[in-house]
């Protein structure tokens, strides 16, 4: 352990699986005390909490779309570990549909989790960060916040807005020592992606097809996103603010499909 986050307290939402879990594990290895979060207290939550141990990690169940629950989570974290230095807004859900087939409830839930949830969490930690004159907020956006894929509405709307919020808040609080940045992953081999491959008619062929679309001819790993979050969370990135970092193997720069 190199201790790049030694002495820091981090809250990582949606951190029981996939990218969020990879970030939580890496942050603990680098010396942080980490508040784990999910809207469910399920087997995945229990596994990662047990793995990381109660001295370095605390699991708090909370729906990021519920502001009182978010504030209670931040208060609980503060009572246990102290003020939060790093917030990673990773919690999110995929909502892909034809615009006219989308129900009002699905629209509201997409915005409530993928956009408003990040704001609720940021709003809850801002007073503590401002009081200590330092803090790093990292929003997990998406390549969908840069490029549009038909049939994926309204997810790209939320992710475009999340990147906009990143820039606005980063500039708003820069002079007070806060940094707000985002990461936009492309295709990353999470449990959800593995499940989608497994549900296809030929999982191996589908995996190979998706890998072949990428310039590097392989699918990204959650740890590769986690290391970028680690850099942004650390003092090494103290002059990076209101920025978005694409992690997609170069896919979004291709001229054609």
Q: Is 155 a catalytic residue?
A: yes
Mean pLDDT of the chain: 96
> Does residue 198 fall inside a structural domain?
no
Confidence bin at 254 (pLDDT 50/70/90): confident
> Does residue 3 fall inside a structural domain?
no
pLDDT tens sequence across 24-44: 999 999 999 999 999 999 999
All residues at 6 or more sequence positions from 204 whose CB lies less than 8 Å from its CB, including other chains? none
> Does residue 225 fall inside a structural domain?
yes
Which residue out of 155, 173, 227, 255 is catalytically annotated? 155
Expressed as residue numbers, the domain containing 83 is: 9-187+221-246
> Does residue 204 fall inside a structural domain?
no
> Does residue 147 fall inside a structural domain?
yes
> Does residue 202 fall inside a structural domain?
no
| Residue 13 pLDDT exceeds 90 | yes
User: From CA 24, how far away is CA 230, in angstroms rounded?
Assistant: 10
CATH number reported for the structural domain that contains residue 82 in this entry: 3.40.50.720
Confidence bin at 70 (pLDDT 50/70/90): very high
The reported pTM is 0.95
């Amino acid at each position: 352990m190199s201790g790049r986050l030694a002495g820091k307290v981090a809250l990582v939402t949606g951190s029981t699986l996939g990218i969020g879990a990879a970030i939580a594990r890496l942050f603990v290895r680098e010396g942080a005390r980490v508040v784990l979060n999910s809207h469910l207290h399920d087997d995945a939550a229990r596994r990662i909490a047990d793995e990381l141990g109660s001295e370095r990690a605390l699991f708090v169940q909370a729906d990021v779309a519920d502001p009182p629950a978010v504030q209670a989570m931040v208060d609980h974290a503060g009572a246990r570990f102290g003020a939060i230095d790093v917030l990673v807004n990773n919690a999110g859900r995929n909502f892909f549909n034809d615009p006219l087939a989308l129900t009002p409830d699905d629209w509201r839930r997409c915005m409530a989790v993928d956009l408003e949830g990040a704001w609720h969490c940021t709003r809850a930690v801002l007073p503590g960060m401002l009081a200590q004159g330092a803090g790093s907020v990292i929003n997990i956006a998406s390549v969908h916040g840069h490029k549009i894929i038909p049939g994926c509405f309204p997810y790209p709307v939320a992710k475009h807005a999340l990147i906009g919020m990143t820039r606005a808040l980063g500039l708003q609080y820069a002079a007070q020592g806060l940094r707000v940045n985002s990461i936009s992953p492309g295709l990353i081999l999470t449990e959800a992606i593995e499940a989608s491959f497994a549900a296809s008619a030929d999982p191996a062929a589908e995996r190979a097809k998706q890998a072949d679309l990428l310039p590097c001819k392989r699918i990204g790993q959650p740890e590769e996103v986690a290391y970028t979050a680690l850099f942004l969370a650390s003092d090494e990135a103290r002059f990076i603010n209101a920025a978005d970092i694409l992690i997609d193997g170069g896919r979004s720069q291709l001229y054609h499909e």
